[in-house]
Chains A and B, each alone.
Chain A
Amino acid sequence: GENVEQHPSTLSVQEGDSAVIKCTYSDSASNYFPWYKQELGKGPQLIIDIRSNVGEKKDQRIAVTLNKTAKHFSLHITETQPEDSAVYFCAASNNARSKLTFGKGITLSVRP
């Protein structure tokens, strides 16, 4: 089955700097890659996703890039703010029964 690795496990950046979170996946048939943000005591919130027919997608300060050859995708957050501090999960799906396989999550801390 699919295996999603996420690294690093923690990331600390200064407010205003950029943050990059990387994930790798194992199943070359995977074609959907969402990113979720989870704040303390809340459910994961879908923040951006990308499908395999696209190499990059942007939404304001957030962007995701996909390299299908290398089987990795990354979340880029620019001009980080303290409210960006949260746990971020990447996931992948090969469209089989819409099953998502999640990475282990990364804790992002933005220092004011």
Chain B
Amino acid sequence: DTAVSQTPKYLVTQMGNDKSIKCEQNLGHDTMYWYKQDSKKFLKIMFSYNNKELIINETVPNRFSPKSPDKAHLNLHINSLELGDSAVYFCASSQGMESDLYEQYFGPGTRLTVT
């Protein structure tokens, strides 16, 4: 009965490869997010989607392409992986975007290592 789940938990790949991370939430939430946590633990928003519509795109390189097939899923595809993409990627969700609805709940993270 996991609320926000991500696959895979670990991803090791070589520079130049293309990879995807999947996220699913079973909370019935409308809004989903991708965050990047770097080696210094700094958490930064990358994208958010509300009802499958892109809301936030925080100057992320266009090698990163999120896709939301439905409200419960938000995937992240990364092309031409670079060493600097190594980080932990977290998916999160919130009930909505209005001020009383945006408590965000995080998934367990995907540790991406690019060699």
Contact = CB atoms under 8 A, between A and B. Distances in A.
Interface of A: 31-32, 34, 36, 38, 41-46, 49, 51, 87, 89, 93, 95, 97-102, 104-105
Contacts of B55: 97-98
Interface stretch (B39-47, B60-68, B77-85): B39-47
Contact of B103 (A49, A87, A97): A49
Contacts of B94: 98
Contact of B42 (A36, A42, A97, A105): A105
Interface residues of B, number: 25
B45 A34 contact: no
Contacts of B106: 36, 43-46
Contacts of B40: 104
Most A Cβ at <10 Å: residue of B55, B90, B105, B106: B106
B74 to A, nearest CB: 14
A32 B102 contact: yes
A97 B108 CA distance: 23
Contact of B43 (A31, A41, A89): A89
B49 to A, nearest CB: 11
B43 A98 contact: no
Interface in B15-55: 31, 40-45, 48, 55
Given A43-B108, A44-B43, A104-B40, A31 B48 contact: no
B17 to A, nearest CB: 24
Interface in B75-107: 90, 92, 94, 96-97, 99, 102-107
